[in-house]
Amino acid sequence: MPALASTTRLLILAGYSLPSQKLKFLPVSVSTWRHSVRFFSRVAKEHQGPLTLASLGFSSQLEATTGSTGKRSNVENSVKLTRSPVDRPRSIATPVVKAITSVDDIELEATTGSKGKSRKVEKNVKPLRTPVDRPKSKVKPLGKTRGSVDDIELAPFSAKSFSELGLPPLLIERLESEGFKVPTDVQSAAIPTILKDHDVVIQSYTGSGKTLAYLLPILSRIGPLKDANSTLKSKDDGGGKRKNDIEAVIVAPSRELGMQIVREVENILGPENKRAVQQLVGGANRSRQEEALKKNKPVIVVGTPGRIAEISAAGKLHTHGCRFLVLDEVDELLSFNFREAMRRILDHVGRKSERRTVLVSATVPFAVIRAARSWSDDPVLVQAKKVTPLELVPPSGPVDSTQPASDSNPSASQSLPPSLKHYYSVVKLQHKVDALRRCVHAMDAKCVIAFMNHTKQLKDVVYKLEARGLNAAELHGDLGKLGRSTIMKKFKNGELRVLVTNELSARGLDIPECDLVVNLDLPTDSVHYAHRAGRTGRLGRKGIVVTICEESQVFVVRKMEKQLGVAIHSCEFTEGKFVIDGEEKEESTMDGGLMRRCSYRS
């Protein structure tokens, strides 16, 4: 086997770009593999140029922007997200995708501030469609009152537009003007389900659009864009709302995520309606938040547990008549740190039968199912292509029945987007930062998030990267609010190439341009791996995740590989080249991994 391995060792040399259409048909046998190596060399000669993220299929084509807002502009999708069965070993227990119809092209733009410098991002944005070609006649019209589970199964999973989902015209207009035209799978499943007054647990992989999946039904029931007719008929809207009552409370575990959700609500509401939402995140001036609550009388508040609980305890936040409670990244909100604050919030948001409760995360361990049973009223589990009554979810968690149960971690195994590729590289401890630098250069990555476990080490890494000519900055909770938002702004507009951060940034952060995630320290488990990895490959874009570890830690990588149900290949970065271990290649050929990898080289 070692001899075989050495003969088949694959060296992918920098400077060569390989056409994926041909490579994805690479053979499995060794003899044909040798032939393929010759084929690689031949193709390589024909395609002179560095093997970079771009040459691997990460053709980040961001158009330079001229505006100053940095907002998504007119969206155009140029690349089809095709998924073969081997592409995703943990295939979800739903029918195979038969056809993915194209949506309007999505073209993302990022502004680079006054300098007008441009950064490249993927154009490969394509909300997935569901596989089921449901005859239209079977789709029941959306009711205004609470429906049965039978009704949910007929939800328009194959929605081609937001108007199919029962959203009010004003809201659809706003969505279109913000460039949102086609709902993602999880949105197609969740929106009508919530509109039918079901409490839900939403589980879908990172970057699949869960935020709008819960925001849109909320905005169609409350606030300035709501559907006037449905509100009149709604049993909850008995006219008992007092002037200062908050109608929706959205809780998120970090300030960054809280503020990101607020921005998303504001975008949808439009500038003239921005006051309908108020952020209540920690680290910001509390009295200003309290004044804004009094003056603006928002209908929605979004915040971190501590700050919401604090203001509520001070008697300045009236949530008893609340109609929607959302717990985003709910598995994180269940952690011990938030226990007191969460209890305060839950005790002051009215009775569960009188509000809709929405729990959301890419990772849903059984603790979340348990929490949903006690905090919600007859909830259902909504995933991208199915809706399941919660009583049918087994104690092992919302596991995929098509998967071997043995090693996989059900709460993590369905959390990774299929477009991600995973690698690890073994280096000595003292060479980790240099390996990160080499990795960034070899991949020609433009927007990199590097994760570490300890805050105090971040500065040192930034210093070393800057000394080697890479623009980098640290992001962690000890920085002030202004410092954090300045760094995020610089990172998003391309002034910083590497963001060195800790677990703070692992959840929810949406930076579509991020093309590479590096674990400079191992994540504590597969759930943490999944959330870190999910910062790249957002909404169908491709992304690469590289874990830099020591030899003694490889077994941990292997364990996470099994738990997540993805292949994590060994690689090296030498002399500016991205080198994939040939021995790995032989193994990955067996499980289809090679085809996945080769499909990048377009």
Ligand X SMILES: Nc1ncnc2c1ncn2[C@@H]1O[C@H](COP(=O)(O)OP(=O)(O)OP(=O)(O)O)[C@@H](O)[C@H]1O
Provide the binding-site residues for ligand X, judged by CB under 6 A: 127, 180, 182-184, 187, 204, 206-212, 362, 508, 510, 512, 534, 538-539
Whose structure tokens read 């203001």? 311
Query: Quick check: 513 and 119 in contact, CB under 8 A?
Result: yes
Counting other chains too, the contacts that 427-433 makes at CB distance below 8 Å and 24 or more residues apart are 427/548, 427/549, 427/550, 428/550, 429/550, 432/520, 432/548, 433/461, 433/464, 433/465, 433/520
CB of 206 to ligand X, least distance (A): 4
Q: Which residues contact 406 (CB under 8 A, 6 or more apart)?
A: none
CB of 538 to ligand X, least distance (A): 5
Give the total residue count for the chain. Answer: 602
> For ligand X, which is the closer residue by CB, 201 or 462?
201
Query: Quick check: 171 and 268 in contact, CB under 8 A?
Result: yes
55: tokens are 């040459």
Query: Quick check: 274 and 223 in contact, CB under 8 A?
Result: no
> For ligand X, which is the closer residue by CB, 41 or 335?
335
CB of 416 to ligand X, least distance (A): 10
> For ligand X, which is the closer residue by CB, 204 or 319?
204
State how far the Cα of 41 lies from the Cα of 290, in Å rounded to an integer: 66
Query: Quick check: 123 and 107 in contact, CB under 8 A?
Result: yes
> For ligand X, which is the closer residue by CB, 122 or 474?
122
CB of 513 to ligand X, least distance (A): 10
CB of 388 to ligand X, least distance (A): 19
CB of 129 to ligand X, least distance (A): 11
> For ligand X, which is the closer residue by CB, 124 or 589?
124
> For ligand X, which is the closer residue by CB, 183 or 283?
183
Residue 113 DSSP symbol: G
CA geometry: angle at 400 spanning 396 and 401, to 5°?
A: 90
State the greatest distance between any 2 C-alpha atoms of the chain, in Å, as a whole number: 78
CB of 300 to ligand X, least distance (A): 16
Query: Quick check: 169 and 175 in contact, CB under 8 A?
Result: no
> For ligand X, which is the closer residue by CB, 51 or 514?
514
Query: Quick check: 549 and 521 in contact, CB under 8 A?
Result: no
> For ligand X, which is the closer residue by CB, 413 or 588?
413
CA geometry: angle at 282 spanning 280 and 283, to 5°?
A: 125
Handedness of CA 157, 158, 161, 163 (dihedral sign): negative
Count of other CB atoms within 10 angstroms of residue 471? 14
Count of other CB atoms within 10 angstroms of residue 132? 13
Reduced to 3 states, what is the DSSP secondary structure of residue 442? Answer: helix
CB of 238 to ligand X, least distance (A): 32
> For ligand X, which is the closer residue by CB, 122 or 581?
122
